[in-house]
Amino acid sequence: MNEESNLSFTYPENEMKRTQDFETLYHDAGQFYWGKTSAWVNKINMHSSGIGLPVPNWRVIDIDNEEDWKRAELLFQIMDRKT
């Protein structure tokens, strides 16, 4: 979105595609990492041979600001009530 609140597509060729028609993509949620000490000390790229663990998107919140933190607190309250 630009300063005038106009939207534009990063990939215009996908403008008419439905999101459910896209290939499933995964990204690092930063939940946890484990590995050998030597890999950390030698700064070996953890993503070069990492193994993924799918986590539902409703269980993950990328906290970058206060609004994200508030959303995380609300999610925690909802999930805590169900236990």
**Per-residue pLDDT tens for 38-55?**
988 998 887 777 788 888
pLDDT band at 68 (very low <50, low <70, confident <90, very high): very high
Evaluate if residue 82 carries a pLDDT over 80: no
Task: Note the pLDDT tens digit of each residue in 13-36.
Answer: 999 999 999 998 888 877 788 888
pTM equals 0.55
Q: How much is the pLDDT for 83?
A: 65
Is position 39 within any domain? yes
Residues with Cβ within 8 Å of residue 61, at least 6 apart in sequence = 68, 71, 72, 75
In this structure, is residue 28 part of a structural domain? yes
pLDDT at 16: 93
Q: Are 47 and 28 in contact (CB under 8 A)?
A: yes
Residue 1 lies in a domain: no
Domain that holds residue 62: 12-81
**Residue 66 counted as domain residue:** yes
Q: Is residue 16 part of a domain?
A: yes
For residue 6, tell me if it sits in a domain: no
Q: Is 26 within a domain?
A: yes
7 located within any domain: no
The closest of 24, 82, 11, 81 to 57, measured between CA atoms, is 24
pLDDT attached to residue 13? 94
Domain count, the chain: 1
